[in-house]
Chains A and B, each alone.
Chain A
Amino acid sequence: MDKKEKMRGLDIDSLKDRMAGTISTEEALKDIVPFQYSKDVLEGKQKVIFSAMK
Chain B
Amino acid sequence: MCNIGDIILIDEYNHGSLRLRHHSFVVMQDEAGEIRGYPYDIICNVLSSFRDDNQKHRKLAFPGNFPIVNDDTHTTPDNGKDGYLKTDQLYYFKKDKISYQIIGYMKPDIFQLVLEFVSAGEFKIRAITDNLIE
Residues on A facing B (Cβ under 8 Å): 1-3, 6-12, 14-15, 18-26, 28-29, 31-38, 40-42, 44, 46-54
Contact = CB atoms under 8 A, between A and B. Distances in A.
A48 B105 CA distance: 6
Interface in B64-112: 67-75, 81-83, 85-86, 89-91, 101, 103-112
B73 A49 contact: yes
Closest 7 CB pairs of A and B: A48-B104, A20-B124, A53-B67, A9-B29, A10-B28, A47-B104, A9-B4
Contacts of A35: 24, 47-49, 70, 81, 83
Contacts of A6: 3-4
